[in-house]
Amino acid sequence: MVTQLGQRPSRMERRDSSEFEKPSRIERVVSLGGNKNPLNSLNKISDVKNTVGNVFKKPLSLNFICMFMVSGTLDIIGVFTTEFPGFSILLSILYNIIFIPWFYFSGIKFNMKKIGSMGATSILEDIPIVEALPWMTINTIYSYYSK
């Protein structure tokens, strides 16, 4: 696998021996479409439905419903108090004070995406016209269901 400066090795040169045993992406797609047996295609459709059904692994729970109600209430309070300029900052601080421990004690792990979304929600709640949208509720749904 000798390459000159500025040249990238081809895909076949970059594959290691374990990848040669697995079918490539193109081979997998061709094998899906080449099957003429309708029963096998039905099994594949059910496999796709099972995979799609596993996207939201957490069922709708009482904990999530309470989180949704509290964040929705905070959003409604934020909409009705738009004439007070500093109140949205206090509301976003209150949201973070309530929901960070609530997520932690519910067993929801925080990663950098969730921390970034909490910060972005706090910033969006401080922008005068944009604060009317339900950012806290959207962030609660995202943080609860994302991995």
Three-state DSSP class for residue 93? helix
Nearest to residue 108, comparing CAs of 99, 116, 117?
A: 99
pTM confidence score? 0.57
Query: Which of residues 88 and 16 earns the better pLDDT score?
Result: 88
3-state class (DSSP) for residue 37: coil
* Predicted confidence (pLDDT) per residue in 82-128, tens digit: 788 788 889 889 998 999 899 888 888 888 888 898 889 888 888 87
pLDDT digits (tens, 9 = 90+) for 58-67: 667 888 899 9
The torsion angles phi and psi of 84, rounded to 5 degrees, stand at -100, 110
Domain boundaries, the chain: 11-53, 62-145
Contact 117, 142 (CB under 8 A): yes
